[in-house]
Amino acid sequence: MKREYTFAGFGGQGILFMGQVLAHAAMFAGFETSWMPSYGPEMRGGTANCSVVISDRKVRSPLVYRPDLAVVFNNPSLQKFGPRVKPGGTVLMVADLIDGGPDRDDVAVYPVPARGIAERLGHPAAVNMVMAGALLAVDPTVTPEQFEAALRTVTPAHRLATLGANLQAIREGMGFVTARRQDRPATGGGGE
Amino acid sequence: MRELFGRPACLTDEPFLYCPGCSHGIAHRLVAEAIDRLGIRGRTVCVSSIGCSVRCWRNFDLDVVQGAHGRGLAVATGLKRAQPDKVIFTYQGDGDLAAIGMGETIHAAARGEAITVIFINNAVFGATGGQLAPTTLVGQVTSTYPGGRDPSWVGWPIRVAELLAQLPATAYIAREALTTPQRVLRARRAVQLAFEVQIKGQGFALVELLAACPPNLKLDPVQALNWVETKMIPHYPLGQLKPAKGAAR
Amino acid sequence: MQEPTRRVLMKGNEAIGEAAIRAGCRFYFGYPITPQNELLEYMASHLPAAGGVFLQSESELAGISMLYGAAAAGKRAMVSSSSPGISLMQEGISYLASAELPALIVNISRGGPGLGRIAPAQSDYLQATKGGGHGDYNILVLAPASVQEMADLTVLAFELADAYRVPAMVLGDGIVGQMMEPVALPPPVTELPPKPWAATGCEGRPRNLILSAPYTDAELVELNRRLQRKYAAIRAREQRAECVLMDDAELGIVAFGIAARLALAAADNLRERGYRVGVIRPVTLWPFPETAFRAYPAVRAYLTVEMNEGQMVQDVRLAVNGAVPVHFLGQGGGYVPPVDAIEEQALAILEGGLAR
């Protein structure tokens, strides 16, 4: 088993954090994992992205060229990473920050109005956790419980106040996608 | 029979290999006497520098660490931070301390490292044959500026003691000369005080000793001492640039 | 699945710092430079709590000399930097080698020459493995390929440095420095080897001298002979390499550090397609693990994969000594070889009859 993820958006959207929580959850689940921030020229360009690999044996390449699943938070990220997703893979996108979608029909696409959901919750900074919830709804690699345990570990002491809002955002994201999947059961979520 | 004058315990019986009239021998002796008098030989480490005194370890019967050119005060910082209960001193010339090592010097002084610095200023690079030093006087002839130091071309001589005395973390800064018995006695007190300041944990202590380098000045030993008296001292005034706390001025 | 051992998810740079503290390092000197600042900052925030000293030096020149001083005092001590800063430290590293002082230098290298860029690179291989500064000397060079190894090889570097009284370098890059992986941290060292040679003040014993230059020409010759004997012993005993899928390999990919992880991914993919490809990963870059190559006489060609312009190729060619061709894939300046490019190059060699 090997699953590769890419998270991409603007700096400040909690992209790197979201990937770290997933990697922690994978470790807690007993998997091998790696988390790799964007590196090099892109680092200062206002965009942020990271890769996570989860595997049942030692991770070879921590660099992800063709993810099974991409979570994109803005148009440049969709343009850059949408085409790289493996055929049969998944694109989760923040629908209210992105125009259109990936120009391909061999991937499952989940547009999630995460900004609106986060704002409605009164936690506009929790867009990343709404998307994390969406991810947990379509990808069974780690359980919501493992993800939550990881979130509690990774959240720094001075931000513990955000924990409740983040947990709520995760539930909302999961709920949104689960409801849509029941409406439209045809779309696949895995990449295996 | 009572011994009135002898070799300090901190000096080996190796002869000094310095040139006739060189002040290093006197400076070595003052350092050794101070360490003896303070009874700190067993917990003192010397950091030697690069220049004529590169092999001062032959003469100091102490633990000695030989640092790279100019890096003496960084090496001493590592030694002192690693063992704050030990007494660490550097013995550095003007090229080492004030040319290539000025960065290390200023920053060690700015941090207030509890280190004693014995700074030998003879206004010239000695070991390499008489080239311009940062302390070379205006008009002074050197092998790299045979027409004499021209401030419009290579700038002015640096007054190291004054420079460091401005820094808040320096605890004791003095300048003395090794030219006459009276001055040597004053220097002797200054050197000892510079060690006492460290032992008391007061901070960075430096004694600049104006020294004679007869061969590179192309003078005989007596003429060289006169040159220090009449040329160097007017540019490098003697005394305590920054007196130590609680010590007599 | 159950968590086998207690592991934590850490960045590689932080794993070095934590492992160093556990290895008994209590003195860190450093100057900010990307991409190793996480290590500098980790030491700043964790070393004082462990009773140690963190000091930000005014330059790399000063930092390496502070290390020289702390090592001369007999302490486990380290510096870290990245390529341009390591160049500045070369004077001090040469002095450490001549004075036979054990010390750890971490180089989280970046692309060069000159200022270069902060993109990950392996362009300091030659500088690291051929001495780096002036004079006839070598330093131990260990090349971690994972966050776990960032920790493990840091501990090993301290141990070997003490055992042989040589400076040791952990040579990583921006990827292994900044990526996170689970790591089982080494247990804290409770006892450090005695260092009766240290400059601690001569109370109750003859004085100790930590000298870079002996007094006579003959003594300098003798110092060089002694260093060479020591280096010969290190070469004989301390070569380390990880050989994966090599037993029946026709093509051996040689890569170190993060490039080896990419090579392994390529080898896996090629094996799935039936090609007999393996990977030799030098863990010690100096001493170069030349004996590892002798175990695989069936190999008909090697491909070295590097994030530089081919600096390790010459060591592979010396190890192989003309028996089989040695090919190269790589580029300097921040190039990370994509797995499919490695596969493609390997396939070209395999299908070209494995000849040069």
Give the pLDDT of residue A186.
Answer: 44
CA atoms within 13 A on the CB side of C138: 23
Residue C200 sits at the vertex; the CA angle it makes with C194 and C201, to the nearest 5 degrees, is: 135
Residue A12: pLDDT band with limits 50, 70, 90:
confident
User: Looking at residues A93-116, what average pLDDT do you find?
Assistant: 95
B120 touches B53 (CB < 8 A): yes
B113 touches B80 (CB < 8 A): yes
Residue A181: pLDDT band with limits 50, 70, 90:
confident
Q: Residue B76 pLDDT > 90, yes or no?
A: yes
Give the 3-state secondary structure percentages of chain B, helix then strand then coil, rounded to 5: 40, 20, 40
Find which of C65, C88, C101, C205 to mutate to test the B interface (most B CBs within 10 Å of its CB).
Answer: C65
Residues in chain A with CB shorter than 8 Å from the CB of C179 are: 34-37, 62
- Of A154-163, B35-44, C131-140, C218-227, the one with minimum mean pLDDT is A154-163
Q: What is the pLDDT of residues B115-147, one digit of tens each?
A: 999 999 999 999 999 999 999 999 999 999 999
- Transcribe C203-224 into DSSP letters: TTS---EE-SS-SSHHHHHHHH
Q: Residue B2 pLDDT > 90, yes or no?
A: no
Q: Which residue of C has its CA nearest to B102?
A: C62
CA distance A113 to chain C (A): 30
Question: What's the distance, CA B210 to chain centroid?
Answer: 8
- Transcribe C3-35 into DSSP letters: --S--EEEEHHHHHHHHHHHTT--EEEE---TT
Give the pLDDT of residue B248.
Answer: 65
Residue of C65, C74, C201 with shortest CB distance to B71: C65
CA atoms within 13 A on the CB side of A185: 1
Residue C56: pLDDT band with limits 50, 70, 90:
very high
Share of chain B above pLDDT 70, in %: 99
Beta A108-112 vs C140-142: how paired, if at all?
A: unpaired
ipTM of the complex: 0.96
Judge: C208–B71 Cβ closer than 8 Å, yes or no: no
Q: Residue C170 pLDDT > 80, yes or no?
A: yes
Q: Residue A192 pLDDT > 50, yes or no?
A: no
Give just the sign of the alpha carbon dihedral B61, B66, B69, B71.
negative
Give just the sign of the alpha carbon dihedral C173, C175, C177, C178.
positive
User: Looking at residues C104-129, what average pLDDT do you find?
Assistant: 94
Query: Between B and C, how many residue pairs show a Cβ–Cβ distance under 8 A?
Result: 132
Domains belonging to chain C, first-starting first, are 8-237 (3.40.50.970), 241-351 (3.40.50.920)
Residue C146 backbone dihedrals phi, psi, to 5 degrees? -150, 165
Cα–Cα distance, C316 to C305 (Å, whole number): 11
CA distance C102 to chain B (A): 14
Domains belonging to chain A, first-starting first, are 2-183 (3.40.920.10)
Give the pLDDT of residue C5.
Answer: 60
For chain B, the chains sharing at least 3 beta-carbon pairs closer than 8 angstroms are C
Give the pLDDT of residue A125.
Answer: 93
Residues in chain C with CB shorter than 8 Å from the CB of A62 are: 175, 179, 181, 258, 261
Give the pLDDT of residue A89.
Answer: 97
Give the pLDDT of residue C160.
Answer: 98
Give the pLDDT of residue A189.
Answer: 41
Residue of A23, A39, A62 with shortest CB distance to C261: A62
Q: Residue C355 pLDDT > 70, yes or no?
A: no
Residues in chain C with CB shorter than 8 Å from the CB of A59 are: 181, 261
Give every CB contact of residue C209 below 8 A, 6+ residues apart in sequence. B57, B63, B64, B66, C199
Residues paired with residue B60 on neighbouring β-strands, in sequence order = B11
Residues paired with residue A64 on neighbouring β-strands, in sequence order = none
User: Looking at residues C287-299, what average pLDDT do you find?
Assistant: 96
User: Looking at residues B26-54, what average pLDDT do you find?
Assistant: 97
- Of B2-6, B8-12, B14-18, the one with minimum mean pLDDT is B2-6
Find which of A4, A18, A27, A153 to mutate to test the C interface (most C CBs within 10 Å of its CB).
Answer: A27
Give every CB contact of residue B17 below 8 A, 6+ residues apart in sequence. B55, B58
Residues paired with residue C278 on neighbouring β-strands, in sequence order = C252
Judge: C92–B71 Cβ closer than 8 Å, yes or no: yes
A28 touches A1 (CB < 8 A): no
Share of chain A above pLDDT 70, in %: 91
Residue C59 Cα distances to C36, C44, C62, C69, C104, angstroms: 15, 16, 5, 15, 17
Residues in chain B with CB shorter than 8 Å from the CB of C70 are: 78-79, 81-82
Is C8 buried (19+), middle (13-18) or exposed (0-12) by CB count in 10 A?
middle
Domains belonging to chain B, first-starting first, are 24-125+159-242 (3.40.50.970)
Residue C118: pLDDT band with limits 50, 70, 90:
confident
Give the pLDDT of residue A40.
Answer: 45
Greater model confidence, B249 or C119? C119
Is C132 buried (19+), middle (13-18) or exposed (0-12) by CB count in 10 A?
buried
Residues paired with residue C54 on neighbouring β-strands, in sequence order = C28
CA distance A97 to chain C (A): 28
Cα–Cα distance, C338 to C255 (Å, whole number): 13
Residues in chain C with CB shorter than 8 Å from the CB of A4 are: none
User: Looking at residues C275-282, what average pLDDT do you find?
Assistant: 98
Which CB contacts under 8 angstroms, 24+ apart, belong to A150-157? Answer: A150/A21, A150/A22, A150/A24, A150/A25, A150/A27, A150/A28, A151/A21, A153/A24, A154/A17, A154/A20, A154/A21, A154/A24
Give the pLDDT of residue A42.
Answer: 47
Residue of B57, B67, B107 with shortest CB distance to C68: B67
- Candidates B193, B192, B202; CA nearest to B171 is B202
Q: Which residue of A has its CA nearest to C2?
A: A30
Measured in Å, how far apart are chain A's first and last C-alpha atoms? 8
Give just the sign of the alpha carbon dihedral A115, A119, A122, A125.
positive
Residue C26 Cα distances to A156, B40, B242, C19, C195, angstroms: 26, 26, 34, 11, 15
Cα–Cα distance, B190 to B239 (Å, whole number): 9
Find which of A32, A50, A61 to mutate to test the C interface (most C CBs within 10 Å of its CB).
Answer: A61
C161 touches C167 (CB < 8 A): yes
For chain C, the chains sharing at least 3 beta-carbon pairs closer than 8 angstroms are A, B
Q: What is the pLDDT of residues C8-55, one digit of tens each?
A: 999 999 999 999 999 999 999 999 999 999 999 999 999 999 999 999
Residues in chain A with CB shorter than 8 Å from the CB of C37 are: none
User: Looking at residues A124-144, what average pLDDT do you find?
Assistant: 97
Judge: C182–A63 Cβ closer than 8 Å, yes or no: no
Q: Residue B90 pLDDT > 90, yes or no?
A: yes
Kind and range of the H or E element at C315?
Answer: helix C313-320
CA distance C27 to chain B (A): 7
Residues in chain A with CB shorter than 8 Å from the CB of C174 are: 39-40
In total, chain A counts a number of residues equal to 192
Q: What is the pLDDT of residues B162-217, one digit of tens each?
A: 999 999 999 999 999 999 999 999 999 999 999 999 999 999 999 999 999 999 99
Measured in Å, how far apart are chain B's first and last C-alpha atoms? 37
Residue C66 sits at the vertex; the CA angle it makes with C61 and C69, to the nearest 5 degrees, is: 130
Give the pLDDT of residue A185.
Answer: 47
User: Looking at residues A177-183, what average pLDDT do you find?
Assistant: 85
Residues in chain C with CB shorter than 8 Å from the CB of A63 are: 175, 262, 336
CA distance A56 to chain C (A): 9
Give every CB contact of residue C225 below 8 A, 6+ residues apart in sequence. none
What's the per-residue H, E or C state across A117-175?
HHHHCCCHHHHHHHHHHHHHHHCCCCCHHHHHHHHHHHCCHHHHHHHHHHHHHHHHHHH
Give every CB contact of residue A186 below 8 A, 6+ residues apart in sequence. none
